[in-house]
Chains A and B, each alone.
Chain A
Amino acid sequence: MKILLTIQKRNIAPRFDLTTEVLIALCVDQHILGTPRTILMTRPSSEELCALIIKEGVNTVICGGIEESHLKYLTWKNIQVIDSVIGPYSEALKAVNKGTLRPSIILPETMQGEQAK
């Protein structure tokens, strides 16, 4: 399963449309295969991000706030979207592998770290 996470420093980026960095991980049997890849976008753009998701053949997208049109588009393309996730992306990745990640979750480790400045 190919997972794409929209990230901002060590957390899930608050907004899909303002994301400039994504992490792509391959997961098999609840384990991450190899080292996840990071891709830097040239500029924040929902359309370009959707195109990247399709091009990469991603199965699951983990992101923060996302607009309805983009959510519908990705769902229509048979991509699972777990949105409104708040917290460190490493924890989100662990949770999705365990099958415990759900939309609008505030991960318990969120308050421990510092906000990226």
Chain B
Amino acid sequence: MASTIPSPLEKIAVIEILNSVPHGVLILDTELRILEMNSFLEVLTGFSSSDARGVYADYILRSNIDNNGRKFHEVLESVECLSVAGDIITQHHKKIPVHFTVSPLMDDSGIAAGLLVFLEDISALESFDKKRRNNNAVVDILGLSPKIQETFDLIPVLAHTDASVLITGETGTGKDMFAEAIHKTSKRSRHPFIKVNCGALPEALLESELFGHARGAFTGAVKDKPGLFRMAQNGTIFLTEIGDLPLTLQVKLLSVLDDKEFFPVGGVKKVKVNIRIIAATHRPLRELVKLGEFREDLFYRLNVLRMHLPPLREREGDVRLLLDHFMRKFSGSLNKPIKGFSKRSIEILTSYRYPGNVRELRNIIEYAVNICQEKKIQEESLPKYLFSPQRGQEVAPRKEQMPSETIAETASSSTTGNGGWGEVEKEMILDAMKKTGGNRSKAARILGWGRTTLWRKLNRYELS
């Protein structure tokens, strides 16, 4: 192409073609001097092509990718295209993010006679991406307690790597939101985030959903189906309720994790995938491994990076924050002039244990806002089951995730009184204090509270 440029007639044709391209285009000789640039690039750089002609591209482009022409020389030598993101500084002092594509131009004898540089302005894409990340990633998750802040700090660390992540935590703690936040903060954020609930589909269907199937693989398979793994190409696949994944599929998943390839159902050709796997479960996987319900090798393969989400009762101060947040959210969407909570209702809501965690709290507030006819949410607007101590204590024991709960469970299960949650809590405290011989630090640890909380509650129940 460059060898044809000296002919004036063909030169006119070349520049017309270049000017019709809606991106910056530059033609360089083997010395990396500018032979031609299109009008789009004139606007982008602020230099006219007549001024730029004969000048080294480095000085006109002012990019951060081509230090002393090194990268462009590499393309000339290797005769291989280069595609790289970078930025340029314009004459108007603006730094513009640009995607560069540098291709060698070959003459008739197959020798590189120049370079074609293609610049795509990606500033709109970058600002959109930035806005999207800022809007959705961690901002949606609320929490000020030290325990939840620890998990927030983990998000950028986990997003930085490509290793598998296992998110554990009780139901309603926000495993899905954290998985999405990790994806959105990672370099894969521009690619799909596919969520699969492993417990929601029967085994045969789940295999076909995950890995796809070939045409004719089974009755009704009238055409090829790509499957969710292929749909998540270059992105992240989020396998929620991984503990419910059938054993046969666990083997297949393990091989995908190891080899990054698999056979679709009934397929003869292996499919390669480039995906990141984030798995989540509320079930104690280690226990399932012992019971033979979960493969040990898959457990260790998934457990490369682990994030444990604290239950709401361990997130000191967050209940109040979430109550206000959801109250504002629902009163806004229902157009109700609710300003807050009555003193009694806030006492009930802050002392409840939320076995269903944030999801349960959200539902309670949605119910209350719907029922409430006053300016403040009263005790009467709250769901009735909150006043039943037995219901409030329905937390399944999970040794792996929350060893501190065992005593609380025992105490609650032995409760028969009608004194409400206060009585139950009092009993729990007494039980814990008895077990620890009056050591408040140990008792607080057993109860899953901070020492200050225990001290406050001891005062409240006049146990101190």
Contacts and interface: CB of A to CB of B under 8 A. Distances in A.
Given A67-B93, A86-B55, A115-B31, A104 B46 contact: yes
A115 B94 contact: no
A109 to B, nearest CB: 12
Contacts of B47: 104, 106
B89 A115 contact: no
Contact of B62 (A64, A110, A117): A64
For chain A, what secondary structure do more than half of its interface residues adopt (helix, strand, loop), or is it mixed? Answer: loop
A117 B73 contact: yes
Interface in B26-77: 31-33, 46-47, 51, 54-56, 58-62, 64, 67-70, 73
Interface residues of A, number: 25
B34 to A, nearest CB: 10
A114 B73 CA distance: 14
B183 to A, nearest CB: 31
B91 interface: yes
A111 B55 contact: yes
A20 to B, nearest CB: 10
Contacts of A111: 33, 54-55
Interface in A40-66: 64-66
B284 to A, nearest CB: 49
A114 B69 CA distance: 12
B171 interface: no
A15 B58 CA distance: 10
Nearest to B69: A115
A59 B410 CA distance: 78
B89 A67 contact: yes
B93 A14 contact: no
A14 B58 contact: yes
A66 B90 CA distance: 8
A117 B68 contact: yes
Interface in B84-106: 88-91, 93-95
Contacts of A115: 31-32, 56, 58, 68-69
Contacts of A64: 59, 62, 89
A84 B89 CA distance: 10
A106 B62 contact: no
A73 B158 CA distance: 37
Interface residues of B, number: 27
Residue among A8, A67, A83, A115 with the most chain B CB within 10 A?
Answer: A115
A30 B64 CA distance: 35
A85 to B, nearest CB: 9
Contacts, number: 62
Contacts of B93: 65-68, 71, 83
B455 to A, nearest CB: 48
Given A104-B46, A104-B91, A11 B59 contact: yes
A32 to B, nearest CB: 24
B70 A110 contact: no
A110 B62 CA distance: 15
Nearest to A9: B68
A18 B64 contact: yes
A65 B69 contact: no
Nearest to A83: B93
Nearest to A12: B59
Contacts of B60: 86
A28 interface: no
Interface in A68-95: 68, 71, 83-84, 86
A66 B46 contact: no
B405 to A, nearest CB: 51
B376 to A, nearest CB: 49
Nearest to B33: A111
A111 B53 CA distance: 9
Contacts of A116: 68
B170 to A, nearest CB: 46
A14 B73 contact: no
Nearest to B59: A86
B70 A66 contact: no
Contacts of B55: 86, 106, 110-111
Interface string A94-117: 000000000010100011001111
B91 to A, nearest CB: 5
B90 A117 contact: no
Nearest to B94: A68
Contacts of B95: 67
A11 B58 CA distance: 11
B56 A15 contact: no
A117 B69 contact: yes
10 contacts: A11-B59, A18-B64, A64-B59, A65-B88, A66-B93, A83-B93, A84-B91, A86-B55, A111-B55, A115-B56
Interface of A: 8-9, 11, 14-18, 64-68, 71, 83-84, 86, 104, 106, 110-111, 114-117
Interface of B: 31-33, 46-47, 51, 54-56, 58-62, 64, 67-70, 73, 88-91, 93-95
Given A65-B62, A115-B56, 17 more contacts: A8-B68, A11-B59, A14-B62, A17-B89, A18-B64, A64-B62, A64-B89, A65-B88, A65-B89, A67-B93, A68-B94, A106-B51, A110-B55, A115-B32, A116-B68, A117-B68, A117-B70
Question: 7 closest A-B pairs (Cβ-Cβ)?
Answer: A65-B89, A65-B62, A68-B93, A115-B56, A86-B59, A14-B62, A111-B54
